Amino acid sequence: MKLNIALLAGDGIGPEVIDQAVKVSDAVAKKFGHEIEWTPALTGAAAIDAVGEPYPDSTHNICVAADAVLFGAIGHPRFDNDPSAKVRPEQGLLKMRQKLGLFANVRPTFTFPSLIDKSPLKKERIEGTDLVFLRELTGGIYFGKRGREDNDNTAYDTCTYTREEVERLARKGFEMAMQRSKKLCCVDKANVLETSRLWRETVQKLEKEYPEVQVSYEFVDAVAMRLVQWPSSYDVLITENLFGDILTDEASVISGSMGLMPSASLGEKTSLFEPIHGSYPQAAGKDIANPLATVLSAAMMFETAFGLKDEAEAIREVVNKSLTEGVVTEDLAEGGNAYKTSEVGDWLAKNI
Amino acid sequence: MKLNIALLAGDGIGPEVIDQAVKVSDAVAKKFGHEIEWTPALTGAAAIDAVGEPYPDSTHNICVAADAVLFGAIGHPRFDNDPSAKVRPEQGLLKMRQKLGLFANVRPTFTFPSLIDKSPLKKERIEGTDLVFLRELTGGIYFGKRGREDNDNTAYDTCTYTREEVERLARKGFEMAMQRSKKLCCVDKANVLETSRLWRETVQKLEKEYPEVQVSYEFVDAVAMRLVQWPSSYDVLITENLFGDILTDEASVISGSMGLMPSASLGEKTSLFEPIHGSYPQAAGKDIANPLATVLSAAMMFETAFGLKDEAEAIREVVNKSLTEGVVTEDLAEGGNAYKTSEVGDWLAKNI
Ligand SMILES: CC(C)[C@H](C(=O)O)[C@@H](O)C(=O)O
Ligand SMILES: CC(C)[C@H](C(=O)O)[C@@H](O)C(=O)O
């Protein structure tokens, strides 16, 4: 199979971790007889520096032409203390999501037995946790009308959802639930918000099409609690953009394996795969960042974008092996036995 | 001193826990030579049943005439599966907040050494946690324009804030920070929302008036993570209504003492005090609910509404004593030695 992949390394540690994912992907492609064509493109602060905007048209065209996008991380401290700066790396992210139509952000949270003690939560609370959030990514208050009124004295943001937007996301949730334990939780704030009531109505209608799926409806504040109390009680959760932003980040720290969590953002045509961690600028260029989340994002890419399950499984296996054998970067190393980012990548590629 | 207090027991376990807070308040009043006049009034499902609405004018008039309001809990399962029901107990809550102008919800989270093992988090993560959220309670997306458009196909909610609303809340935060460790965290989503940028601007301006307070600005998704990872790194946090709803609930489960957490909602004229737990309908009428959160809310009332610090301290001391001596309800009892709700109240009143 010929795989045409856009490669968006981004800022900070992005380029370093992406390099390892490329090595591992190439190794798995070679083993299974595929050919990957990587097309690099600029995003984030790197793109602002080069061409003045964080998601230039040239990059968009490369993404549209590709079968999938592998993404590193964006964000640079230079922009951090000025949230109202005209051009910010994050705007590139939002523009990219919208222009590529990446409407469903898939964020699994699971535990690695060897890392369970890193969790801030007690072991008995998180054992067996294996949940996945489906966050709506191109609608809601992120993309509604906003502005100032009343002589700059009042600010407003608008949250909007259409039935079609909700149904498209919810349907993915039901399908995912059918492939897992047939449990779906719809997270909303239907006791207050009109958009949440539309979500609930739409999901309730879909229930008829998926009679085997057991659906629960929970308020976002209750989920924020139960995620910490009993994360293993959840399986598939669907929610709108802003709630998803908050809850997926909350969920990411419970497993103790945050540095390893991959994600996918699915569109009708293109999909994008990226680690959930940020650009970690303090570590940039030091060859110390943990590449495993990006490598596991590549695994998600093989499986989700190309339907190549064995290839994905091969990557996951070698990642597990690196963990058990202690071939890990300093964030996971015990007793000073840390490998470099590039060494971990080399080891994974060799052992696949 | 003569204390004129409106008593809103509400639904579920509300009446039972309120009864204990009344006993304890009366005992402390007697000891310190005050006289309390309690004026009961209906709210929630109880009020819907009696007069058809959850926060009737008669109740509002009683609250306005009082020096403070002590509140139990509202909510009834009968309304739970119908989020769009015309009359819901929660609407009473929102109407009450708005009509009484309760703009600042104060939610402390702290640990009781004897309960620390009940936390889902590891002991070393939560030891020393003593933070307080100030949640804006009468603005934002809770009270903005909402509705349907496009033939019922689109729903929208509007989040609005004025500079005055932000400043009023933020000022309370700065003042609270001055009385504590002089650390303030402003929680927003200024990389996306216009209302958040107004928050940031307004808080940044206020910084000049409180040069001793060290202010940090953090995104809501980052706070959702750090609250689980290092709760003890926070002190005073200020935030808007919806973020506050989610984060205060998340924070409430980290200490392991959720059943004990009090809260206050402050207005320009009246203030209201209530436990953070819900109406817990399954336990209603069984004399088993833990009354300590309501008793501690009464302590907050003595201190905040009446400036009676010694009285508040006396209540907190006797609550601590009940915990160390094991005079607790079944949720906290070890080895079957559970006291009834009313027995705990009697014991506290006697030992004050
Ligand atoms: C950077 C920011 C705009 C973005 C978001 O809020 O969606 C980020 O937090 C994320 O979750 O990918
Ligand atoms: C019941 C609901 C409307 C309310 C809110 O969202 O404010 C509750 O969750 C709370 O936090 O007091």
| Residue for token pair 């906290």 | B332
A254–B247 C-beta distance less than 8 A: no
A144–B156 C-beta distance less than 8 A: yes
The structural domain count of chain A equals 2
Exposure string over A129-140, b if 16+ CB within 10 A, otherwise e: bebbbbbbbbbb
Across chain B, what does the average pLDDT equal?
A: 95
The C-alpha angle A198, A204, A205, rounded to 5 degrees, equals 95
Q: Are both B135 and B214 inside the same structural domain?
A: yes
Question: SS3 letters for chain A?
Answer: CEEEEEEEEECCCHHHHHHHHHHHHHHHHHHHCCEEEEEECCCHHHHHHHHCCCCCHHHHHHHHHCCEEEEEECCCHHHCCCCCCCCCHHHHHHHHHHHCCEEEEEEEEECCHHHHHHCCECHHHHCCCEEEEEEECCCHHHCCCEEEECCCCEEEEEEEEEHHHHHHHHHHHHHHHHHCCCEEEEEECCCCCHHHHHHHHHHHHHHCCCCCCEEEEEEHHHHHHHHHHCHHHCCEEEECHHHHHHHHHHHHHHCCCHHHCEEEEEECCCEEEEECCCCCHHHCCCCCCCCHHHHHHHHHHHHHHHCCHHHHHHHHHHHHHHHHCCCCCCCCCCCCCCCCHHHHHHHHHHHC
- Report the range of poorest mean pLDDT among A273-277, B73-77, B206-210, B215-219: B73-77
Question: What residues of A act catalytically?
Answer: 142, 189, 221, 245, 249
Q: Are both A179 and A94 inside the same structural domain?
A: no
> Would B209 be classed as within a structural domain?
yes
Testing the interface with B: which of A76, A91, A156 to mutate, by most B Cβ within 10 A? A156
Which tens digits make up the pLDDT trace of A66-88? 999 999 999 888 876 665 667 77
Which residue of B146, B189, B253 is in closest CB contact with A225? B253
* Spatial separation of the C-alpha atoms in residues A113 and A37, rounded to whole Å: 35
**Sequence ranges of the binding site of A for Mg(2+):** 221, 245, 249
Testing the interface with B: which of A98, A153, A154, A186 to mutate, by most B Cβ within 10 A? A154
Q: Are both A117 and A231 inside the same structural domain?
A: yes
Q: Nearest residue of A to residue B121 by CA position?
A: A121
Confidence bin at A219 (pLDDT 50/70/90): very high
Q: State the pLDDT at residue B282.
A: 94
Residue A91 CB partners (closer than 8 Å, separation 6+): A54, A55
Question: Ligand 2 pocket by C-beta < 6 Å: which residues?
Answer: A 191-192, 221; B 90, 93-94, 245
Which residue of A153, A160, A246 is in closest CB contact with B221? A246
Q: Are both B113 and B3 inside the same structural domain?
A: no
> Would B126 be classed as within a structural domain?
yes
- Count of CB pairs separated by less than 8 Å, A with B: 167
Residues A259-282, mean pLDDT to the nearest whole number: 95
> Would B264 be classed as within a structural domain?
no
**With contacts defined as CB-CB under 8 Å, which chain B residues touch A196?**
83
Last residue of a domain, one of A260, A288, A318: A260
Separation in Å, CA of B63 to nearest CA in chain A: 24
A221 pLDDT more than 60: yes
| Residue for token pair 């497993």 | A255
Confidence bin at B80 (pLDDT 50/70/90): low
Residue nearest atom 10 of ligand 2, based on CA coordinates: B245
Q: State the pLDDT at residue A256.
A: 84
Confidence bin at B83 (pLDDT 50/70/90): low
Separation in Å, CA of B157 to nearest CA in chain A: 5
> Would B274 be classed as within a structural domain?
yes
Residues B25-30, mean pLDDT to the nearest whole number: 98
Structure tokens at B184: 């303030």
> Any idea which ligand is nearest the CA of B243?
2
Q: Are both B6 and B92 inside the same structural domain?
A: yes
Sign of CA dihedral A199, A131, B241, B208: negative
Which residue of B154, B162, B249 is in closest CB contact with A154? B162
Q: Are both A155 and A113 inside the same structural domain?
A: yes
Smallest Cα–Cα separation from B246: which of B271, B221, B269? Answer: B221
> Would B25 be classed as within a structural domain?
yes
Smallest Cα–Cα separation from A110: which of A236, A280, A244? Answer: A236
A197–B84 C-beta distance less than 8 A: yes
Q: Are both B201 and B233 inside the same structural domain?
A: yes
**With contacts defined as CB-CB under 8 Å, which chain B residues touch A121?**
120-122, 228
Residue nearest atom 11 of ligand 1, based on CA coordinates: A245
| Residue B155's CATH number | 3.40.718.10
Q: Are both A95 and A185 inside the same structural domain?
A: no
Q: Are both A10 and A122 inside the same structural domain?
A: no
Testing the interface with A: which of B246, B261, B331 to mutate, by most A Cβ within 10 A? B246
Last residue of a domain, one of B209, B240, B259: B259
Task: Return the percentage of chain B with pLDDT > 90, whole number.
Answer: 90
Residues A11-37, mean pLDDT to the nearest whole number: 98
Exposure string over A186-224, b if 16+ CB within 10 A, otherwise e: bbbbbbbbbbbbbbbbbbeebeeebeebebebbbbbebb
B249 is in an annotated binding site: yes
Q: State the pLDDT at residue A82.
A: 64
Q: Are both A110 and A83 inside the same structural domain?
A: no
Which tens digits make up the pLDDT trace of B213-253? 999 999 999 999 999 999 999 999 999 999 999 999 999 99
Residues A271-280, mean pLDDT to the nearest whole number: 95
Q: Are both A109 and A93 inside the same structural domain?
A: no
A6 pLDDT more than 90: yes
Q: Are both B115 and B255 inside the same structural domain?
A: yes
Structure tokens at B125: 């993560």
Which residue of B120, B150, B163 is in closest CB contact with A125? B120
Ligand 1 center from residue A245 Cα (angstroms)? 6
Global pTM value: 0.96
Last residue of a domain, one of B259, B284, B319: B259
Which tens digits make up the pLDDT trace of A159-185? 999 999 999 999 999 999 999 999 999
Ligand 1 center from residue A105 Cα (angstroms)? 11
Q: State the pLDDT at residue B3.
A: 98
Q: Which residue has the higher pLDDT, B28 or B76?
A: B28
Confidence bin at A255 (pLDDT 50/70/90): confident
Which tens digits make up the pLDDT trace of B284-342? 999 999 999 999 999 999 999 999 999 999 999 999 999 999 999 999 998 778 999 99
Confidence bin at B82 (pLDDT 50/70/90): low
Which tens digits make up the pLDDT trace of A120-145? 999 999 999 999 999 999 999 999 99
The kind and range of the H/E element at B271 are strand B271-275
B171 is in an annotated binding site: no
- Report the range of poorest mean pLDDT among A270-284, B17-31, B70-84, B139-153: B70-84
Separation in Å, CA of B32 to nearest CA in chain A: 39
Question: Which residues form the domain of B273?
Answer: 1-100+269-352
